[in-house]
Every structure is written in structure tokens, then in C-alpha cells.
Chain A
Amino acid sequence: MAQMNMIQALNSALDVKLSDDPNVLTFGEDAGYFGGVFRVNEGLQKKHGLTRCFDAPIAEGGIVAAAIGMGVYGVRPVVEIQFADYIYPAYDQLVSEAAKIRYRSGGEFTVPITVRSPYGGGIFGGQTHSQSPESLFTHIAGLKTVIPSNPYDAKGLLISCIEDNDPVLFFEPKRIYNGPFDGWHENPVQPWTGHPLAEVPEGHYTVPLGKARVMKEGADVTVLAYGTMVWVSLAAAEWAGVDAEVIDLRTLVPLDIDTIVESVKKTGRCVIAHEAPRTSGFGAELSALVQEHCFHHLEAPIERVTGWDTPYPHAFEWDYFPGPKRVGEALKRAMEG
């Protein structure tokens, strides 16, 4: 065991896979010699060699297309898109190609690739360094979408993604790379140091895809969250004084429907929290699923606390970001409903 922040945990996952599987390689913009703008690939080129970890042209479509071709050949590339806000040039390759190649080839050609990308707000990143585009991918048949919320899961999930034979989008909440940000932005930033989920095994282990984690058990209301919003939701429950059961979904596709349904049937109430804009966000899917599976157990309308239906603003960071107060108020409303 070692103490790691999320960056170190992700770096460790890559190091483990580069060490144990010669078919794993990683590349992206500034992801080689320099080690990535967030340092996730730090030291990997030096340790594993130039052809195992290298820099790429500034061409997201090309990066993903090259990864697809490599995956079809039979290697397992892990590519980095510097910010999720810049994944759109690769959207055609992800949606029309990576997602459909297994299907359209009758299962003959496969795309075992992982696309890593820092995502999410809360860092004054403005419009193009803060977005949460997960619902643009969860809507696509054939893609898996994974979002960790802590160092332990980050490493175990990333290893699972690399070992998975399907294309996976792995979104890393950059706001919590260094510490579990709870949304109380006026408070000093807490590092991961000393946190139980920052205790990370140094070797190989996995966290299975499709399994949620109950972060905090509770009797009154179920909170469905992922990424940074897991920590915000925990803080919100404390602020609101509500005995909430906070579920970290960890993978959006495949989704752990059983854990969700079991919890909502127990609590009878559900609040969904994500940073992405509300309309057609992943919360809409979660809300629909809870309604379909738990209708007779629901004692209040399902609440969604999300980013607004606007581009992500700069000066209005904390008016936009769904902080603990907004989530807490939703918890209270759910309790009254």
C-alpha cells in the first residue's frame, strides 16, 4: 500500500499495465516526454521506452483513429485527450467507428482501447476546460463510460478499462486529482493525504466495471452521483442534516442498476447530481430508470441538481457549479415531498 493522489494512482495503473502487458502503449498530446499536462504519464516514457509512451500531433481525431487501428491490429492503446472539452474532433471516430466496429463486423474486428480525458469544472476553466460531456457518449451503443472519484477506484477502474475488450471512455475529474473537493470552495483545498481511499496497492488490482460503490449508507434519500459530485453530495448531506445514502456510480455504462434500485426502494427518495447541463444529461436517464424501476416506492419527485443549460462560464464558476448548498436544498425538498 502507498499513499497516492489520483494522478499518482492513474500513473501507477499505467505503469502496472505497461509492465505486465507488452501490448499496452500510451500516447497523446504532451503525454510522452513531458508526461502529460496533468503529469498522469510522468516517468512512463523514461521507464518503458519511446515506443510505449509517446507524444502525438495535436489532432484528437487522429489520436483516436490511430488508436482504433492499433486496437484492430491487436494492441491495447491508452490514449489521452488533454481535456474532455477537446474530444469533439474525435467524436466521429468514437461514435461511428470505435463504438460500432465489433457490431458491424459481426464480431470479427474489435477495438480494445481506452480513451482517458480530464473532465469537469470547479477550476475556473471557463468554457473549454470545464465540460462534462459524458452523456454524449452514454447515448452511444457500443461505448463504455467510466468516471472515478478517488485514487483507489481510479487505479482499479483504469486497469479494468485497459483490460476490457471494448472501447472505454475514462473521464477523470480533474478537480479532484489532488484532493476530494467537496464544493465548499471558500475552504482551503484538502489533499488526498491521509484519506482512506488514497491508500492504493502498488501492484495489480482491478475495480470491476458496472459496479457502483455505496460511499455512505443512509435511510432517508438516495443520492446518485459520480466524479467530483460524490464529494459534493457527501458534504451536502452533512450540511442539510439528511441521512442520505450516497452512491458513487463509477461506471455509467454499464450501469449498476441493481445497487441503484435496491437503495431507492429502501429510501423512497432520489436526488441525482452531476456537473453537466441538465437537459438530456445523464441525470435524465437515471431519473427515468429510477421512475421505471421504483415507481411504487417513490415518496417524492426525483430531483436533479446539475449544471445549468448554458455553456460553462468563467466568472460565474460558483453560480454554475452545483455545490453542496444546491444539492443540500434538493435533499431537503426530497424529504418534504
Chain B
Amino acid sequence: MKNTRSLSLHVPEPQCRPGDAPDFSGLMLADAGAAPRPDVSTSPHEMRDLAYSLVRVLDDEGRAVGPWDPKLDADTLRRGLAAMVLTRTFDERMYRAQRQGKTSFYMKCTGEEAIACAQALVLDREDMCFPTYRQQGLLITRGYPLVDMMNQIYSNAKDPIKGRQLPIMYSTKEFGFFTISGNLGTQYPQAVGWAMASAYKGDDKIAAAWIGDGATAEGDFHQAMVFAGVYRAPVILNIVNNQWAISSFQGFAGGELTTFAARAVGYGLPALRVDGNDFLAVHAATQWAAERARSNLGATIIEFYTYRAAQHSTSDDPARYRPGDEFDHWPLGDPITRLKQHLIALGEWDDARHEQLEKDCVEQVKAAGKESEAIGTLGQSRPSVKEMFEDVFETPDWRLRRQRQEVGV
């Protein structure tokens, strides 16, 4: 006879669903300036608390406070703000382009601009970035031509990757931006390998990788952490926790149980948990991790706490699984608004200049759009069909040559 109670299966549920009032009361936040800033040589076990805290620099009044203030000059701050505004403007334009049928697909990074844009300012152009599909801010901040991004999105005759990839899966070696894969998480241990090679060669370059909260559940995440720790690889492993993996809230990646930064503790790696909407905190944390990596002290895990303000992609409708106004209640706000407020508080910015910046960005995107659309949008223009058979191998084998002949190109 069974005399124990029946078990029950726990299936995580987000706080709020469509129709509910957004509720972020349960978040583990911290005040700006509260988190200590250890020396980069601090042993991971001495800084475990940071995995459960939140590094924040900008307070509610837009002042930079505490030990993590990177003390950036006004020009750098304005450069960061401009990169974020340009990224958002680009996203809006390309989202519309998809709705107009000019391309098949697009993904915005709205609300997450501070992460890629601030990090791009810290990392050297020679450092290799292993991004996901939501770090377009890296390219934009590094000055990759918008028209090349659009050509890729339109798969037109000037698409740098020759019409072979889904829109937004950019690739550019020159800009230290590793070819994006549709397979989630794969780039994470690859970045560790790249960093291992840099160390093996006695080079001074470091690698950086990005992964979303959802994809931390992939085995690749675990392997990257193990390899990064074991071989003390000079890599920055960023986790962008935007609360949502398509329709699944971060609880399905284990986020109900602990922080994502805390995953690092078990691997003996140092972790920082950072306000991802705070440009200064993102900059400072990345600087810390880069210095640590460059000092041959190994990898750092950084969880950026943020919110995916937009749809997952143009194929997604978030109103079906979360409150429509959730982002308006997000306690960490909007990264652009916060940096703007900071610059204004410093007396280095004003509403008129901001308006002008927004206008300039629109013009810049418009001009790139005109140039790219003149080459052609999806279906109106494409690279030669010959390109379908190239680059499978360095040299095509007889099968590829014959198949190309079959197609008649």
C-alpha cells in the first residue's frame, strides 16, 4: 500500500499574463552605487555576492554614483548615446521594411541597446565578438556600414554573405563580428576556443560571447563555462537576461531558482550581475572583465539584467503571452532615456540636441536605405546563383561542379 503523498510536477509560470497588471515587485534589484567593485585579481569565491547583487551606476536622478562609475568623458557618453539611438532607429526602419514586404524577417533589440553599444566601446576592434542575433549594436557602434547590414537583410546583389543566410545573420571578419548562427548557444564555447587560441599563440586579443537567458539552458553554455574555467581562457561570457525567450519567461531556463550570474559560481568563475539598461554600468563591467582577461586571469561571466521591449521577431506577437504594457513598468527603464538624463544632468546635453540627434539618425538610416533599396530588396535582386555552390569547401569537388552545371550557371 502506498502511504506517501502523491508527487506533483512544478511547471514555472510568469507573474503576469495578457490582461494582468504588470508586476515586477519580485525582482532582485540593488541601489545604484551599492555593489562593491573588487580588484580584477580578486578570486572568484571572494566575490560571489556580486552574482546575487546588481551593479548599477546611474541613480534615479541620472547621476553616476558608486565605485563602478567608469568616469567617461562627455564625448564618449555622447558617442554611446548616438550609437544607441542609431541602433534603435535602424531597428525601427528595418522592422517596417519587413512589414512592407521588403524582406522576410527581422529582429529588434529595443531596450537592450546599452549592452552591445557600450561593450563595443570597450572592446578593441581586434577582439573577436561571438554575438547572437540581438547584438546589432556592436556593428553599428563599430561603424560597420548600415548599407551593408541592409544589403544582407535584403539578400540583394551586394549582400556581403551572398544571399546564403537569413536576414540579420551578419558576418564580418574585418569588424570582429563572428558569423551568426541560427543554432542557439553554439557560439559560446567557440568563443572560448578562440580565446584559448589567442592565449596559445601568446597574443593579446580577447574574445567576447553573448547568449540569451533562454539559451543558457543549452549544453553549449555548460561546456563553455567548463572550458573557460579549466583553460583560464581570456573571454568575456555575457548573458543577456531580457526575461523572455520567445514566449517562455526566464523561469524556463532556471531563472526562478537563482540568478544567471550565479551559474558561474559552480564553475569557479567570477560573475557580475549588471543593470543592462545602465550604459555606464555595462561599460564599467565590461572594462573590468576585459582587464581581467587581458591580465591573463581568465574569463568573467556577466549577466546583464534587461527587458526585451519588442517582439521576439517579426514572426512573433508578444500580446499573446505577456501584458502589452509590461515594458512601461520595467523598473530599470529605457537605456537611451537614462543615458540622456545623465548627460543632461551633467550639463552636456539638452532636449534640442537630442531631437537633432534623432533626426540625424533617421536621415542616416534613410540614406542607407535608399542606397540599399536601389540595389534591390528581397526577390528583386540577388547575388549570382553561382554563389549557391561556392564556399561549401575551399575548392568545390566534382559533385558541386556538376550540380552547378545542372543548374546551368
Contacts and interface: CB of A to CB of B under 8 A. Distances in A.
Contacts of B356: none
Interface in B175-207: 178-179, 181-183, 186, 188-198, 200-201, 207
A102 B392 contact: yes
A253 B186 contact: no
Contact of A254 (B182, B230, B397): B397
Nearest to B130: A69
A67 to B, nearest CB: 6
B382 to A, nearest CB: 14
B224 interface: yes
A165 B394 contact: yes
Given A62-B189, A97-B186, A104 B397 contact: no
A210 interface: yes
Nearest to B200: A51
A47 B207 CA distance: 30
B162 interface: yes
Interface in A53-75: 57, 59, 61-62, 65-75
Contacts of A65: 186, 188-190, 192-193, 220, 223-224, 227
Given A62-B189, A103-B391, A105-B179, A73 B226 contact: no
Contacts, number: 142
Interface residues of A, number: 45
Give the most central of B178, B195, B219, B393: most A CB within 10 Å.
B393
B171 to A, nearest CB: 4
A311 interface: no
A97 B162 contact: no
Contacts of A89: 219
B40 to A, nearest CB: 23
A75 B200 contact: yes
Contacts of A210: 397
Contacts of A92: 183, 186, 220
Interface string A232-255: 000000000000000000000111
Give the most central of B182, B189, B190, B194: most A CB within 10 Å.
B190
B172 interface: yes
Contacts of B162: 106
Contacts of B171: 104-106, 108-109
A110 interface: yes
A101 interface: yes
A269 B327 CA distance: 71
Contact of B197 (A75, A106, A144, A164): A75
A104 B152 CA distance: 12
B97 interface: no
B190 A66 contact: yes
Contact of A73 (B161, B182, B198, B223): B198
Give the most central of A66, A68, A69, A102: most B CB within 10 Å.
A69
Contacts of A142: 392-393
A127 interface: no
Contacts of A51: 200
A107 B391 contact: yes
A275 interface: no
Contact of A70 (B164, B186, B193, B226): B193
B160 interface: yes
A104 B169 contact: yes
A152 to B, nearest CB: 24
Interface in B347-406: 390-394, 397-399
Nearest to B229: A57
A253 B195 CA distance: 31
Contact of B165 (A74, A97, A104): A104
B187 to A, nearest CB: 8
A29 interface: no
Contacts of A101: 179
A110 B393 CA distance: 9
Contact of A106 (B181, B195, B391): B391
Contacts of A68: 190, 193
Interface in B128-185: 128, 130, 160-162, 164-165, 169, 171-173, 178-179, 181-183
B189 A25 contact: no
A216 to B, nearest CB: 25
Given A66-B192, A70-B196, A103-B164, A253 B179 contact: no
A97 B192 contact: no
A165 B391 CA distance: 11
Given A51-B200, A106-B161, A254-B398, A69 B179 contact: no
A75 B183 contact: no
Contacts of B200: 25, 51, 70, 75
Contacts of A62: 189, 220, 223-224, 226-227
Interface of B: 128, 130, 160-162, 164-165, 169, 171-173, 178-179, 181-183, 186, 188-198, 200-201, 207, 219-220, 222-224, 226-227, 230, 390-394, 397-399
19 contacts: A57-B230, A62-B227, A65-B192, A66-B196, A66-B227, A69-B196, A72-B194, A73-B193, A74-B197, A75-B201, A92-B183, A93-B189, A97-B190, A100-B181, A104-B164, A106-B161, A109-B178, A253-B397, A255-B397
Given A62-B226, A72-B190, A106-B161, 17 more contacts: A61-B220, A65-B220, A69-B191, A72-B178, A75-B201, A92-B183, A93-B186, A96-B182, A96-B186, A97-B190, A103-B164, A104-B169, A104-B179, A107-B390, A142-B393, A210-B397, A255-B397
